[in-house]
Copies of this chain bind each other. A is one copy, B any other.
């Protein structure tokens, strides 16, 4: 049976609320996902929340009721509460009617099995959690295995990243690593490291990319450091026909990921 929470100062309310901060996410090992669509994606990917909270209206939807029942069977803390208290938990004026706190997966490189997909996205020092979520969503669409975040990066388990991922946080593997950990790991198995650069004449449309392909995407403001470019097995250029010399990081990742897939159609 769900617990009823009616007090704003309840400890679980505070605890969920705190998950909006990276520090609390790290110490708890949990992260928040909001909205029925994302919770359903999680469940369909075999993931259930450790805490689930919903308003009476949010709990009556048949799919929500299923997820709540599944979570309860799995031992979750199940909480029915008011929209106002959900609003406090989520920090939003118009909160979703259901939210869950999920265990963060192992994000070590050792947990990545590169044989599960021919395509992986590697991003360096991304600062915008929305970009991280969008890249996860694109990774799902292009059948990537996951996203490897290099160096200091925004948190892939932040509320903004989870929301932008539209549930792909549950379907894509996520690892975080320093560059000098990543390279030995990469070179310990098969894989072509592909970067985009303005310094090459190789058009991105021409290669048939190797499998597995590791697409390396640079930071939003600086692009790839020179020594990272130098480590790439292949540098390609995306034509820039206007005044700008770069694309949004999530856009660059998507255009390249779709092109890598396209190159495999006829090969």
Question: Could you tell me which A residues sit within 8 Å of B by CB distance?
Answer: 41, 44-45, 130, 134, 137-143, 164, 166-168, 171, 205, 238-244, 246-248, 250-251, 254-255, 258-259, 261-262, 265
Nearest-neighbor residue (CB-CB) of A259 within chain B:
B258
Give chain B residues whose Cβ lies under 8 Å from the Cβ of A45.
Answer: 243
Give chain B residues whose Cβ lies under 8 Å from the Cβ of A143.
Answer: 241-242
CB contact between A248 and one of B134, B247, B262 (< 8 Å): that residue:
B134
Decide: A248 near B205, CB < 8 A? Known: A243-B167, A255-B258: no
CB contact between A164 and one of B164, B248, B258 (< 8 Å): that residue:
B248
A148 CB, nearest partner CB in chain B, Å: 17
Nearest-neighbor residue (CB-CB) of A170 within chain B:
B243
Complex: how many Å from CA A137 to CA B45?
Answer: 35
Give chain B residues whose Cβ lies under 8 Å from the Cβ of A141.
Answer: 238, 240-242, 244, 247
Q: Are A140 and B254 in contact (CB under 8 A)?
A: no
Complex: how many Å from CA A134 to CA B131?
Answer: 11
Complex: how many Å from CA A183 to CA B217?
Answer: 38
Q: Are B248 and A138 in contact (CB under 8 A)?
A: yes
Complex: how many Å from CA A248 to CA B165?
Answer: 9
A51 CB, nearest partner CB in chain B, Å: 24
